[in-house]
Amino acid sequence: MVDATNGQCQFCAIAEGRGTNGVDEILQESENFVAVASVGSLTPGWMLIVPKSHQLSLAGSPAMEEFEAFSSEVAERISALFAGAPVRAFEHGANRDGSPVGCGVNHAHLHLLPSTQSLIPFFPNASMSLRWETSRFSDVAGRACGREYLYYCENALDPVALGQIAVVQAPMSQFFRRAVASSIGQDAQFDYHAYPCLSNVERTIKLYGCDTNVEWSFADRHSRRAAA
């Protein structure tokens, strides 16, 4: 990811409606944020909330109230499309360009993922050394104090839901993506560079733009996989 100072930040371009890879369509927006489908979607419905202004993490966003309301609205839409599935939220909070915590993206973004399974049981083993603390997202900046962090929330449908934050001492790239991959039995496919999963991205874009529910729920999907 190139620094935005010369106008080449990919996420800045996406937020301005100048995406280049064919799946960067803005699906919903507010004054300061946009919602787009996530490249590397191991399952359909995976979305990103991206600030229009260039920043490395969402902690301490000057538009926090708007961010929480917008994220909740998008999460409600995702849940409705996936038969009422819970929506999990997470952020890799980097504090410097090129940090492994940021997964190679030098622009803040929150992940929203419909899943009937909590991701907590699938956190990588590195989580054993992390100290998780209960926190609302609006309190993350005060708890992180400029340090890099991981944030996870089980219930993105509630704009003021309690989540968990852990300050990162030894960064692991794509921490939460590893958990998602493990939760669906695809551990080796966590890397979005190697597995962009564009068919799932395209499906999310199509679903988000229509009023009909997806034909199968996540509960059905996991039941079928378990029975296979």
DSSP summary character for residue 219: H
pLDDT tens, residue by residue, 39-68: 999 999 999 999 999 999 999 888 999 999
| CATH code assigned at 178 | 3.30.428.10
Place of tokens 């039995």: 185
The strand ranges marked E within 62-209 are 87-93, 110-114, 132-136, 149-153, 162-167
Q: What is residue 56's predicted lDDT score, i.e. its pLDDT?
A: 92
Structure tokens at 120: 């907590």
Could you tell me the pLDDT band of residue 127, with boundaries at 50, 70 and 90? low
Cα angle for residues 196, 200, 203 (degrees, 5° grid): 140
- pTM of the model as a whole: 0.87
Q: What is residue 10's predicted lDDT score, i.e. its pLDDT?
A: 87
3-state secondary structure of 87: strand
With residue 27 as reference, give the H or E element that holds it.
Answer: strand 26-29
Mean pLDDT across 159-166: 92
What percent of the chain stands above pLDDT 90? 66
Residue 203 contacts residue 23 (beta carbons within 8 Å): no
**Identity at 122, one-letter amino acid code:** F
Q: What is residue 48's predicted lDDT score, i.e. its pLDDT?
A: 96
Could you tell me the pLDDT band of residue 99, with boundaries at 50, 70 and 90? confident
Q: Which of 144, 113, 121, 115 is nearest to 131 (CA)?
A: 144
Say whether pLDDT at 216 is over 80: no
Cα–Cα distance measured from residue 18 to residue 96, given in angstroms and rounded to the nearest whole number: 24
Residue 144 contacts residue 138 (beta carbons within 8 Å): no
Say whether pLDDT at 111 is over 90: yes
Q: Which of 28, 67, 62 is nearest to 47 (CA)?
A: 28
Cα angle for residues 81, 87, 91 (degrees, 5° grid): 130
Could you tell me the pLDDT band of residue 193, with boundaries at 50, 70 and 90? confident
What percent of the chain stands above pLDDT 70? 86
Total domains present in the chain:
1
Domain housing 117: 4-227
Q: Which of the residue ranges 80-94, 113-127, 213-227 has the most confident prediction, judged by mean pLDDT?
A: 80-94
Could you tell me the pLDDT band of residue 7, with boundaries at 50, 70 and 90? low
Q: Which of 101, 56, 40, 214 is nearest to 48 (CA)?
A: 40
